[in-house]
Structure 1
Amino acid sequence: MQSNKAYTYVVLIYIISFFLYFFWQDFGGYNDFQWLGLQYLIFFNIGITISKCLGSFLVIRGAKKTLEISVFLAILVVVIGYIIVMLVSHYILWEYKLSYYYEVFRVYSFIRFSSFQDLIFPFSVMLVIEVAFEYFRQYKEQQNLRFEKTQAELSFLKGQISPHFLFNTINTIFWLIIKKPKEAQSLLLNLSDMLRYQLYDCENDVVPLKKEVDYLNDLMSIEKHRKNNDITINTLFEVENEQFELPPLLFLPLVENAFKHVSRDPRSENYITINLHQENNKISFLVENTTDNSVIKTKEDKKYSGIGLQNIEKRMALILKENYIFETSLTDNIFYAKIEF
């Protein structure tokens, strides 16, 4: 918004400055035109300024829009527009100034080299203004993208494993050490693999799909111990190429979200379904879970759930641009989340 205001102010200053420039040129020879009156010179130079400056503005803006279609078309717009603006300004010049000195209208050609020269200055200044503001606009967009990327990366780091999840996992392992030592050892190995994956493999922009699947399996092993038999967990991983590369921990927020908000009503079925399908160069990830008001939502849950879902949208927009699908919906107390790319 601020850049648009600055652009408007600069264009207005450009038009006013050239009006003063054109007027001062004629005012210098005012003795030749004093019989026409000062008011006449003001209106005449307003017409010249509008034709040259506003004409240059419209031509360059039009060329900028057509540049997205074709460079040749943009050049054509500039050439034809330049000629039209030159003819219009020259017609005003002839009709209200030069015709007083040339008796025969037809002998004074509309297309003269001096007419092309007179338009070069205002046209070039307008072109410099447009190029300069376009450069700053693109520079600002790049800065905003970098800022968004940094924010997304920070959210990504925050959303990897919440302290709430880590605390509960350690607590679960602690009690299993007393009751079921072997299960506690297995669970501790799962947690160790998860942390190792996050600390080392996730430093890369992409990871093999196999490592991401192993990570999700470790996560679900831990969650199954935490939820006991209250929830039915269904998983289906169909992977054609285990070395298929994708951004690390992209699916984690959806899985964590499902475990945090799954229903816990003993009178009805409570389940989580996780499907992953990879074939050719496409991958689809679907998470489905029952949910209702029986879920106890802590502040920590809400915090990391919100970060996670926003993080997916930001990361996919930054990495995949528009070549992805991310959908969430809630129907009949069943929450659906889907990622495709």
Structure 2
Amino acid sequence: MNLIKDFILQLAFIATLIFTLQIFFAERSERNGQMRIILSVIFGLSILLCMTFPVYVSSNVHMDIRIVPLLLGTLYGGLRTGILLCALTILYRFYIGVDLGFYTTILTLLFSMPAVVPFQKVFVKAQKKKRIQIALILSIYYCFVGLIVVSSFRGFSLNALQVHFIHLIITVMAVLFFTSLNETIKGMLQKNQQLQSEAKDAEIAFLRSQIKPHFLYNTLNSIAELCIDKPNKAEELTLNLSQYLRSSFDFKQLESLTTIENELELVKAYINIEKARFGARLNVEYDVDANLDIRIPPLILQPLVENAIRHGLMSNLRGGTVKISVKKEKGAGVSFAVEDNGCGMNDKKRDEILNPDVANRGIGLWNISQRIQLLYGRNIRIESAEGMGTKVFFDLPARPIEQVGG
């Protein structure tokens, strides 16, 4: 009975450390180098605790279930982690003392661990049920190797067989429990990440579906106003807009990216329409120094330009200037800025624009802010002063979009 209690103490050590691993680090990638270091530390500490508090069968015979963290660490961490854990086991056993147990430890590892290497590659690619089966087979194999090695040195006895049988049962149950637990938690996390990704994609699709009709509604209204005074210009702009939408917009692919070049074309198409309407009251300056082939989310500049014109400049009779900046930054980043010298806004109004709880907020700024936050985990920034103008700016990485939060 004391044997079982001592084995349970070792299981408690392993469980505490593995639960810690799952709670704090389970969402990280298995291929992450930092994650492998964490795995080595957690399972290495488990091995040391098991060996520090062994089960004493007699005054000169003691056992532990170090194979549980050793095996799981090798299967989940890879060959390097397994070699590191084996080396740690041998060094600590050497520190305890060079005796018969030291030599049986080396021989057991020498004959059992090479069998783990081919299985480890299969384990990584296998599904949950197959992984559990592999872990159980290897744990049983290790226990039998240990029994043969120890019996070769100490001889066979009924009492030794009973102890090894208890050791085998506890080891197999522990491996079954921890492998099943780990696979279940991983499955739950993967499902949760998938749901988060799907929810994020759905929200981004909704935001894009919201901004595109918003752009078309305002643009067509501008063209409609030209129809009375400048019908020929209205016709020309309508045809230009139709051609651009036909070549550049795909309403079926709400998840697709565009290039900086295409986004600037859309901005210019919109500005041509507004220039035809407002004439000399509207001035536009471009400062573009970036790779135009970099892919970005569509419609993240045009709504900002539209806001600058409609709410910043045209609220004044004198009009003003909009500056559009796309600049290359250090670290392969790109900075975007839309600045006007219009009426500006106070701090309260600026905070309300990006507040999702404000019912009368405009679509443009809030929509862009939400999409950039969802896609990149970044925020847009606003600088504004009443009577001075407004600047909206943000930075994006010049690389593929990464998953955020999930």
TM-score by length of 2: 0.54
SS of the equivalent of 1:288 reads: strand
> What is the rounded CA distance, in whole Å, between the counterparts of 1:287 and 1:88 in structure 2?
66
- 1:134-283 correspondence to structure 2 within 5 Å: 134-162=186-214, 164-175=217-228, 179-200=229-250, 203=253, 205-230=256-281, 232-238=282-288, 241-264=291-314, 266=316, 270-277=320-327, 282-283=333-334
Letter in 1 for 2:298: P
**Contact preservation (8 Å) 2:261, 2:292:** yes
2:49 maps to 1:84: yes
Deviations 1:99-143, CA, capped at 9 Å, x for gaps = xxxxxx634435686375334423530332123112211221122
Name the structure, 1 or 2, with higher relative contact order (CA <8 Å, separation 6+): 1
Deviates more, 1:190-199 or 1:61-70: 61-70
Match of 1:327 in 2: 380
Match of 2:39 in 1: 74
> What is the rounded CA distance, in whole Å, between the counterparts of 2:238 and 2:212 in structure 1?
18
> What is the rounded CA distance, in whole Å, between the counterparts of 2:334 and 2:173 in structure 1?
57
SS of the equivalent of 2:212 reads: coil
**Contact preservation (8 Å) 1:276, 1:286:** yes
How far apart are 1:267 and its partner, in Å?
A: 8.1
Q: After the TM superposition, list the runs of 4 or more consecutive aligned residues in structure 1 that deviate by more than 6 angstroms.
A: none
> What is the rounded CA distance, in whole Å, between the counterparts of 2:178 and 2:273 in structure 1?
65
Deviations 1:44-97, CA, capped at 9 Å, x for gaps = 98x65862443121232456649752536625642551452365362xxx5xxx
The alignment's C-alpha RMSD in Å is 4.1
SS of the equivalent of 1:311 reads: helix
Letter in 1 for 2:274: E
Match of 2:178 in 1: 126
Letter in 2 for 1:288: E
Letter in 1 for 2:197: L
Relative distance call for 1:208 and 1:221 in structure 2 (3 A) is same
Relative distance call for 1:332 and 1:269 in structure 2 (3 A) is farther
Letter in 1 for 2:188: F
Deviations 1:157-178, CA, capped at 9 Å, x for gaps = 2202416414522422322xxx
Letter in 1 for 2:334: I
- 1:98-113 correspondence to structure 2 within 5 Å: 106-110=59-63
Letter in 1 for 2:200: E
**Contact preservation (8 Å) 2:285, 2:321:** no
Structure of larger gyration radius: 1
Match of 2:81 in 1: none
Match of 1:285 in 2: 336
* 1:59 corresponds to which of 17, 21, 25: 17
* 1:313 corresponds to which of 349, 368, 373: 373
> What is the rounded CA distance, in whole Å, between the counterparts of 2:383 and 2:338 in structure 1?
12
> What is the rounded CA distance, in whole Å, between the counterparts of 2:326 and 2:245 in structure 1?
22
How far apart are 1:211 and its partner, in Å?
A: 2.8
**Contact preservation (8 Å) 2:226, 2:277:** no
- Which residues of structure 1 form unaligned runs of 5+? 1-25, 27-40, 99-104
Deviations 1:150-196, CA, capped at 9 Å, x for gaps = 21022112202416414522422322xxx333322332233223432
> What is the rounded CA distance, in whole Å, between the counterparts of 1:245 and 1:109 in structure 2?
63
> What is the rounded CA distance, in whole Å, between the counterparts of 2:38 and 2:291 in structure 1?
46
Deviations 1:249-308, CA, capped at 9 Å, x for gaps = 33223223323431555488744322233599653321013344699x9x8872454323
> What is the rounded CA distance, in whole Å, between the counterparts of 1:226 and 1:142 in structure 2?
47
